[in-house]
Amino acid sequence: MKTYTVLYYPDFHPDAVWLRRILLLADEVTRIVPLDVELHDPEDLLALQNSIPGCLSAISPEEGDIAIERDNLPRLAKAFAFLARSRGPKKKKKKIVIEISELSVSIAGHVFLHTAKISPVIRRELRRNGLIIPGLEKIADREGFIVVDASASDLILSGIAENISRRTGLDAITDKPVPFALTALNGLGVRRTPTLGGAEGAVLAALTSILIPAEVATLKLNEYRDLRNSYASIRGAFKELTADLARINRLNHIQDPRRLTAEVEATAQEFGKEYQTFRKSRYARNFKGWAPLYVGGLVSMIGTAVAPHVALGVAGVSLVVQTIQKVFESPAASPGRDRVFNMVAGLRKDIIRQSGVKAII
């Protein structure tokens, strides 16, 4: 089966905990990195890549990915003008806050954006609207970068991600709560053309926040790797699931950014409710179905240790629990959505168990 790879944006380095969650449901994450950029991943990302080779890769934007179509330029110019007005009059002196640490330099409200990610036309529009601070990239020794307003950068990078998503067929996904492109442009007449990859990626990100416990961050790397390997089949199932949810809920047809965000969240919440209902009904159904079949088989095993009438009860309860767990965790127990629910249930249980939370409780 073809690997399920998702396209991450806007940064070079995704959050490590977020990445752990995503990699349980996707095979690989690829990020947008220009050819001449040398990545210096933080230690937690390096450790994860060493433990799971190939889990985090890079793709470089092509000329067509950063190009702005003539029909889109007026909308982008309108968005930049809106941002410029929201920042106050150009003539008024603005305070620039620069934070310098041992490892990095940051500028409040701005990011270092590589010039390979923007076309000359966009660069001119950014300059014209005062959304670039010239010269500061030299302070950080970031050759090939410019200092750009963070909201403008998010808008540009989301557009590049959409273009690469269309070209490669990868689902675009982000660890930002709500990208600028989905909020501030609403009501300005600036609409993004919805893409299949964008909707599916948004659904996947929302599902991970609901289905994957936060305790995944506390697992040791070797335990996380083994857990992920044991649930390899879940990733293929989730690629089909996100596509179905996006199609059934017509998420790719919604052009209002705020409504799209709300519908994605509602879709994930509804799936979470179905999962909880399934767990309860599955438990009750198996309790009734399995208990009478196996009670007699275990009586002789514990009859020498306890009284016969007690043995019958102990055997029944013990076997029912074991049998329910076995059926509940089996990825092949049932087809379709039930199969996904079964795998998620086992995944959640193993995360809780391996993290030590259950023992503490």
pLDDT at 159: 79
Which pLDDT belongs to residue 89?
64
Q: What is the pLDDT of residue 124?
A: 87
**Greater pLDDT, 39 or 327:** 39
Among the residue ranges 167-181, 234-248, 280-294, the one predicted with the least confidence is: 280-294
pLDDT single digits (tens) 322-357: 433 444 444 443 346 778 888 888 998 899 888 875
Contact 221, 48 (CB under 8 A): yes
Least confident of 127-141, 219-233, 300-314: 300-314
pLDDT reading at 302 higher than 60: no
Q: Is 200 exposed, middle or buried (0-12, 13-18, 19+ CB in 10 A)?
A: buried
Q: Which tens digits make up the pLDDT trace of 50-73?
A: 999 999 999 999 888 887 666 667
pLDDT of residue 98: 62
HEC string of the chain? CCCCEEEECCCCCCCHHHHHHHHHHCCEEEEECCCCCCCCCCHHHHHHHHHCCCCEEEECCCHHHHCCCCCCHHHHHHHHHHHHHHCCCCCCCCCCCEEECCCCEEECCEEEEEHHHCCHHHHHHHHHCCCEECCHHHCCCCCCEEEEEHHHHHHHHHHHHHHHHHHHCCEEECCCCCCHHHCCCCCCCCCCCCCHHHHHHHHHHHHHHHHCCHHHHHCCHHHHHHHHHHCCHHHHHHHHHHHHHHHHCCHHHCCCHHHHHHHHHHHHHHHHHHHHHHHHHHHHHHHHHHHHHHHHHHHHHHCCCCCHHHHHHHHHHHHHHHHHHHHHHCCCCCCHHHHHHHHHHHHHHHHHHHHCHHHHC
Is the pLDDT at 103 greater than 50, yes or no? yes
**What are the tens digits of pLDDT across the range 247-259?**
888 887 776 666 7
Token pair belonging to 58: 């890079």
Q: What is the pLDDT of residue 57?
A: 95
pLDDT band at 306 (very low <50, low <70, confident <90, very high): very low
Q: Which has more pLDDT, 294 or 84? A: 84
Mean pLDDT comparison of 99-108, 116-125, 213-222, highest-scoring range: 213-222
Q: Is the pLDDT of residue 275 over 60?
A: yes
**When comparing pLDDT for 133 and 301, which is higher?**
133
Estimate to the nearest angstrom the gap between the alpha carbon of 15 and the chain centroid.
10
CB atoms within 10 A of CB 233: 13
Burial class of 162 by CB neighbour count within 10 A (0 to 12, 13 to 18, 19+): buried
pLDDT reported for residue 317: 40
Stretch 235-249: mean pLDDT, rounded? Answer: 88
pLDDT of 44 over the 90 cut: yes
Average pLDDT over residues 307-314: 39
Paired tokens of 56: 């985090």
Residue 90 confidence class, pLDDT cut points 50, 70, 90: low
What would the mean pLDDT of 193-213 be, rounded to a whole number?
Answer: 78
pLDDT of residue 227: 94
More confident residue, 210 or 329: 210
> Between these two residues, 19 and 324, which has the higher pLDDT value?
19
Is pLDDT at 7 greater than 90 in this prediction? yes
pLDDT band per the 50, 70, 90 thresholds, residue 263 = confident
The Cα 25–Cα 205 span in angstroms is: 10
Reply yes or no on whether the pLDDT at 287 is more than 50: no
Tell me how far apart the alpha carbons of residues 31 and 160 are, in angstroms, rounded to a whole number.
12
Q: What is the mean pLDDT of the chain?
A: 74
